[in-house]
Amino acid sequence: EPEVTQTPSHQVTQMGQEVILRCVPISNHLYFYWYRQILGQKVEFLVSFYNNEISEKSEIFDDQFSVERPDGSNFTLKIRSTKLEDSAMYFCASSEAGRDTQYFGPGTRLTVL
């Protein structure tokens, strides 16, 4: 069964550094999402992406965040200058055109020191 994959599973970085989190959505899906889960808290929406454009973003998704689909398979989330409060689990999700169900990847745990 097709799955959303994410790399790396765990990323440790120093405050102020740039990180790129990578996702490979399910191949025939057209809609992509990033969510964040700070430890012990609920999952929060960051951004949705379709046709090489951001469709919707939350107030969390400020100028330090960006997303890109650099090729036909990868979907990335970049954090330009990481802060301690960016430490969280980041989930990528994808969905088919015309379908409401989103399928999640296993997540990347980001630790900012």
Partner 1 sequence: AQTVTQSQPEMSVQEAETVTLSCTYDTSENNYYLFWYKQPPSRQMILVIRQEAYKQQNATENRFSVNFQKAAKSFSLKISDSQLGDTAMYFCAFMKPYSGNTPLVFGKGTRLSVIA
Cis peptide upstream of residue 25 (ω within 30 degrees of 0): no
**Residue with Cβ nearer partner 1 (3 or 18):** 3
Residue 41 lies near partner 1 (rule: CB under 8 A): yes
Residues 6+ apart with CB under 8 A from 34: 23, 46, 47, 67, 77, 90, 91, 92, 93
Q: Tokens 């989103």 — which residue?
A: 102
User: Across-strand partners of 90?
Assistant: 36, 108
CB of 46 to partner 1, least distance (A): 9
**Residue with Cβ nearer partner 1 (82 or 95):** 95
Single out the segment in contact with partner 1 by CB under 8 A; choices: 15-23, 30-38, 66-74, 78-86: 30-38
Residue 104 lies near partner 1 (rule: CB under 8 A): yes
Single residue of 1, 62, 71, 100 touching partner 1 by CB under 8 A: 100
Residue 87 lies near partner 1 (rule: CB under 8 A): no
Q: What CA–CA distances, in Å, run from 66 to 37, 63, 79, 84, 100?
A: 18, 7, 7, 18, 24
Count of C-beta atoms within a 10 Å radius of residue 109? 16
In the complex, the residues that contact partner 1 under the rule CB under 8 A are: 31-33, 35, 41-45, 48-50, 55-56, 58, 89, 91, 93, 95, 97, 100-107, 109
